[in-house]
Structure 1
Amino acid sequence: MDLRRLIRDTGCRLLRGDALTEITCVCCDSRSAEPGALFVCLPGRRTDGSVYAAQAAAAGAAAVLCAPGYAGSDLPDRCAVLQADDPRRMMAVLSARLYGDPGGRMTLVGITGTKGKTTTAHLLAAILQADGRQVGLIGTNGACWPGHRHDLNHTTPESCDLQALLRRMADDGCDTCIMEVSSLGMKADRTAGIAFDTGVFTNLSPDHIGPGEHADFAEYLYWKSALFRQCRVGVFNNDDPYVGKITGGCTCQMITYGITHPADVRAGADFTLLRTGGRLGAAFTVDGIPYTVGMPGAFSVQNALAALTAARQLGAGENAIRQGMARAVVRGRVEPVPLDAPFTVLIDYAHNEAAAESLLRTLRAYKPARLIAVFGCGGDRSRLRRFGMGSVCARLADFCVITEDNSRTEPVEQILADIRAGLRLGCPATPFAEIPDRRQAIYYALDHAQPGDIIAILGKGHETTIERNGVKEPFVEREIVEELWEAKKI
């Protein structure tokens, strides 16, 4: 598409260059620039994207979009220069136009909340697939659709990448896309201009508050609620104490679900816990109809109820709902590792106090001989998360193994010192082992496990790498557990 057509009636200004310049893709990372690209200079925490404009042009970018104040004097004459007052929002507008508004060809579902987004998205996808639909997923576990899987840098990708993914999904026959919509993604206009058919709210608790994220809880809540000004129907958890603030000002039709509070779709509170081999699950009823979810506890019932409510609203059949919910397994979300062992090993992404508390309380309900928590905390992140994780694990686990997570550029010893302080705050009597190397920490837990134990490996979940000193190395916990267990049997 040429620049003239691309920017028509958008408010984007052509400062210099040929209006007939052909644009074939949009990017905001100069390392992704290629011939025909429109490179968008986004403002960053430390530097402005205009610093990388020349690098993008050298890679072949045909045009650069920038904010007022940068005229592109360091760019070659062949590179057109565009200007917009808000490059982020303009990137979303131009990307959607360039890629032919692919979301308009699909049913779009956006899921937001502090916890449960990934699980709810995968449960809903499994249901809709059982209903015969071609479904794409975008979220923390990456982007996937039949025959494809791609890792992502953000739960909600930058708008240029998001629109390109939607285009590929639509071209490959997807009729539905379910995406996790993060508060930071909303704040950064990554979903600007997208009209969701259905939005889902799971729950809310403080998270992502600090430098480079949200200024405070009020801002975090605001951006969570923003999804429901971009969708036709909203599905809300009526058991969450913040639901009233999330729905305040929303413009969509509202449908509620819950267990403890009145709701349009309500599950019975007398759900049954299931433990078969190494897998934990729950059975519950809605309107007298029995359902089973292959994930443990009350929070899994809540997530399943969110998926069920959205699926009903989207017209899925009851058989598909029942089948999809029972069969779904979510990578890194209370994921059982199948071992021929007399104990259970689960991998979960819980990496903050609220998520860890929810998970460990759920696992205690299955009455394990011992509940063992293996966890660390990320470097270059809020220290409060470390105190919180240490405190809650000390209170709810019978034994803790503290270790590294993604230490990034921070010394592991410093992170572990903060976690130890949290352990003392939570319950100083809880025994623990400190093993900085995560592989060795997992091996220690397996080597000391007793019949009936549940080992919960927390923090990394679906991730396939571990970051130390700014370098990422392959690290897939499910594979490591299986490998260590096989070696132990020899």
Structure 2
Amino acid sequence: MTVEQLVKLMGLGRVFGNGNAEITGIQHDSRQVTAGDLFCAIPGFRTDGHLYCTEAYARGAAGFLVEREDAIPSGASGIVVDNARLALAGAADVFYGHPSGRLWMVGVTGTNGKTTTTHLVRAVMEGSDVPCGLTGTLHTLIGAESFKVVRTTPEAPDLQRILRHMADRGMKAAVMEVSSHALALSRVDHVDYDVGVFTNLTQDHLDFHKDFESYFRAKALLFERLGQGTEKGPRAAIINGDDPYAPRLVALTHVPVLTYGLSNKNDLRATQVRVTSRGVQFLAHFPSGVQQPVEFGMPGGFNVLNALAAMGVGYVYGLAPEQMAEALARYKGVPGRFERIDEGQPFSVIVDYAHTPDGLENALNTAREFAMGKIGVVFGAGGDRDRGKRPLMGEVAGRLADFTVLTADNPRSEDPMEIIHEIEPGIKKVHGQWQVELDRERAIKLAISQAQPGDVILIVGKGHETYQIYRDGTIHFDDREVARQVLRELKRS
């Protein structure tokens, strides 16, 4: 595709230089540019992509998408636009042949539950012989292949490339996590969503969005845009009707709405819920009148909601409730999402990704449903992120856990002890019991060493992550590996 053809199909931008220059790829990171790429210069939060056009040209960039003509290297071809980030999404969609137009697209957004819900959606779709690709926090899944990801929702060129690969590999549907950052930064502009799923909205990412209303408005963009693209199948907004923000989302979307939840007001609801340390059981009531027993091996009352959301997607697509229940029963679970670490010990050790006040509360309340003894929790808070949630998480832990061990959790450029000092007032407020151990491995050992038969030890915040980020570098660290090793040592002693 030439620069001129790309501009014509995008419907915006002015061409400078040789419009016949051939484009063979799109990049937004100058370090990743290879010969033939179109380099998109995006003004960022820490630096400006326009400063790296010369570097990209030296690496073989065949063209440039810029906001300033003077950034185009001498002799190079360029496209000048008013907003490079918006244009990047359009260019990527055009270059990769509008792949979302070939897939039944499901976008899942919300503060908590996105990862689990997307995996459960894929499980129910593929359990009914509908090939379904997935991309999100953990990985990209296409058939039997798994690919690493850099962020929850990729930048537009990476996302469109993934969707093209899914379509070319014969996927009929695709489900993806849609972060608030991605919506606010136009990464998913030009993705043709058929279904939007809303899990919940609680405090997170206010370091980026600045206030809660802005955070909500970013999430709402997904639902406002539903139904604007090519009709490839059923369209719907599938919304957690028990969340306080549900009515606002229902009012602003232009497609049919299916609400789900535990209360009677919802279209799809669960009753007879039973939670154990090994999973959940419930009865799903569908709008058609069908009542389907469901049982699957992911503990937590919140996973009932995640399963309902997934079954709502399948219901809209036309899948049979019985087949969906069978698929959920076979599903083994999502790494790092309320994952049990079992070495034969007489108490429960669970690793979870909970890193918000609401997520932590859900995890602790779930543990209380099956704990026969005390509940201990190990957690910290990420550095260079929303500081306002730190005392709130402390308050939740102090109120719901019998004892807490505060430790480091990706402190990044911040002093880990200063982060803990911002968590502690919340625990003090409710007169909770806590200890401090900055070394996360020793913190996990400390918590497990206090466990008695019937107790539950929750290790939260990192979940599937296999690293710890400090000011001076990143080290390998996996809560699951550490917990398993501690339990094995305890067994030998």
* Shift, 1:285, TM fit: 3.6
- The reply on whether 1:293 has 2:324 as its aligned counterpart is no
- CA shift digits 1:448-486 (9 cap, x unpaired): 221111111110112121101152222222222223322
Equivalence for 1:411: 415
Equivalence for 1:483: 485
SS at match of 1:196: coil
Distance across 2 between alignment mates of 1:114 and 1:381 = 15
* Shift, 1:442, TM fit: 1.3
Q: 1:443 to 1:280 in 2, by over 3 A?
A: farther
SS at match of 1:416: helix
Structure 1 contact 111–121 (Cα < 8 Å) conserved: yes
SS at match of 1:18: coil
Structure 1 contact 293–301 (Cα < 8 Å) conserved: no
- CA shift digits 1:346-369 (9 cap, x unpaired): 111111112111221222122331
Distance across 2 between alignment mates of 1:150 and 1:242 = 34
Structure 2 contact 237–258 (Cα < 8 Å) conserved: yes
Letter in 2 for 1:28: H
Equivalence for 1:240: 243
Structure 2 contact 427–433 (Cα < 8 Å) conserved: no
Distance across 2 between alignment mates of 1:445 and 1:280 = 24
Equivalence for 1:46: 46
Q: TM-score, normalised by structure 1?
A: 0.93
Superposed, 1:126-141 pairs within 5 Å as 126-141=123-138
Letter in 2 for 1:47: T
Distance across 1 between alignment mates of 2:319 and 2:309 = 14
Letter in 1 for 2:82: D
Equivalence for 1:344: 348
Equivalence for 1:383: 387
Equivalence for 2:310: 307
Letter in 2 for 1:439: E
What stretches of structure 2 of length at least 5 have no aligned partner? Answer: 227-234
Letter in 2 for 1:222: R
- CA shift digits 1:274-320 (9 cap, x unpaired): 33xxx243333424321113223331111111111111111223333
Distance across 2 between alignment mates of 1:253 and 1:285 = 20
Q: What is the aligned counterpart of 2:463 among 422, 445, 461?
A: 461
Equivalence for 1:152: 149
Distance across 2 between alignment mates of 1:2 and 1:335 = 49
Q: What is the aligned counterpart of 1:400 among 397, 401, 404?
A: 404
* Shift, 1:15, TM fit: 4.3
What stretches of structure 1 of length at least 5 have no aligned partner? Answer: none
- The reply on whether 1:121 has 2:124 as its aligned counterpart is no
Q: 1:470 to 1:96 in 2, by over 3 A?
A: farther
Q: 1:447 to 1:367 in 2, by over 3 A?
A: closer
- The reply on whether 1:167 has 2:164 as its aligned counterpart is yes
Distance across 2 between alignment mates of 1:341 and 1:284 = 32
- CA shift digits 1:378-405 (9 cap, x unpaired): 1112322221111110110011111100
Percent of aligned pairs sharing the same letter: 37
Q: 1:483 to 1:171 in 2, by over 3 A?
A: farther
SS at match of 2:457: strand
* Shift, 1:239, TM fit: 1.3
Letter in 2 for 1:51: L
- CA shift digits 1:105-149 (9 cap, x unpaired): 221111111211111111111111211222211112232223332
Distance across 2 between alignment mates of 1:449 and 1:296 = 20
Equivalence for 1:72: 71
Q: What is the aligned counterpart of 1:449 among 430, 448, 451?
A: 451
Instruction: Number of aligned residue pairs: give it.
Output: 479
Equivalence for 1:91: 88
Which structure 1 residue ranges, 4+ long, deviate > 4 Å from structure 2? none
Equivalence for 2:259: 256
Structure 1 contact 12–82 (Cα < 8 Å) conserved: no
Letter in 1 for 2:48: D
Distance across 2 between alignment mates of 1:406 and 1:446 = 21
Distance across 2 between alignment mates of 1:330 and 1:305 = 16
Q: TM-score, normalised by structure 2?
A: 0.93
Distance across 2 between alignment mates of 1:107 and 1:338 = 38
- CA shift digits 1:88-110 (9 cap, x unpaired): 11111111111111112221111
386-395 or 469-478: bigger deviation? 469-478
* Shift, 1:14, TM fit: 4.1
- CA shift digits 1:180-202 (9 cap, x unpaired): 11122111111111211211111
Letter in 2 for 1:284: L
Q: 1:462 to 1:215 in 2, by over 3 A?
A: same
Equivalence for 1:331: 335
- CA shift digits 1:34-74 (9 cap, x unpaired): 1111111112123221012122222211111111x34225x
